[in-house]
Amino acid sequence: MNNGLGGGRGSAAGRALVTGASTGIGRATVVALAARGWRVAATMRSPQDAGDFGTLSGVCVLKLDVTDPGSVRSAVAEAVETFGGLDAVVNNAGFAVDGVFEAMDDEVLTRQFEVNVLGLMRVTREVIPIMRRQRQGTIVQVSSMGGRITFPLYSVYHATKWAVEGFSESLAYELQPHGIKLRLVEPGAVRTDFYGRSRERITPPDDAGYAEFVTRCEEISLSAGLEGAPPEAVAATVVRAITDRSTRLRYPVAAPAPLLVALRKVLPESVFLSLIRRRYRIQG
């Protein structure tokens, strides 16, 4: 059932499933793969948000809610039935909670982990047997530079991305003997709904003493998003990660991710953290 690029063998285009495909990086990835002749299952919670996907050759739109195990099973099964297998799966669905942790209730925490961690795990678990039987395939987890480094007000979001990084690094060992590659794409600042519709902002109580801190840090973070790379830049890296023949695990992309990830490796922790504090003008 090997169809080529997904497993790093041959020259034919492959078969892919992309989650969170209605906007941003997911949408750009579907377009990039389709332009290369791939057959792509563009999955999303609300298929009515598919836009012009119906005009793209080889693209089918499927409903997939990563928080619903039945929805995951149904969408993956339909993609396999349609394409005859899957050479690549891109776990892109996710969103960001930001704000002061003190103000976050259990419902917020559960929802953030349910989508960003458990949802990704459900899709990954569902496709492993398919790729194992094929003896080839690539699973791309769209993580974040926030899975390697941290910034103020994103503590819970960072917790999910650090979980994805650890889960995926460990899982890569057990998948490699079965011919399955696992990749972590780690975007930096990207002009997507991460800073808009997909953002969930938690406001602290007025008397908690966070107002000036939150205003300052939000301004710095949002300005980075407005100046970020287009989602197409990340999509190009996702395609490269899928087609790469090596055993490389991580692919930082879009400033400042490559630089900051490199600095975190070489600088003493105290020096690196002081750089972040200076960037956000944190004293005390």
Q: What are the Cα distances from residue 220, in Å, to 166, 279, 280? A: 28, 8, 7
Q: Of these residues, 71, 143, 144, 168, which one is catalytic?
A: 143
21: tokens are 């495909």
What contacts 156, CB < 8 A, 6 or more positions away?
A: 97, 101, 104, 108, 109, 112
What CA–CA distance (Å, rounded) separates 173 from 180? Answer: 10
Helix (H) or strand (E) holding 250: strand 250-253
Pairing outcome for strands 15-18 and 59-63: unpaired
- Catalytic (active site) residue 157: yes
Active-site pick, 144, 154, 157, 210:
157
161 is catalytic: yes
Which one of the listed residues 22, 144, 161, 181 is annotated catalytic?
Answer: 161
Rounded distance between C-alpha atoms, residue 128 and residue 85, angstroms: 11
Residues that are catalytic: 143, 157, 161
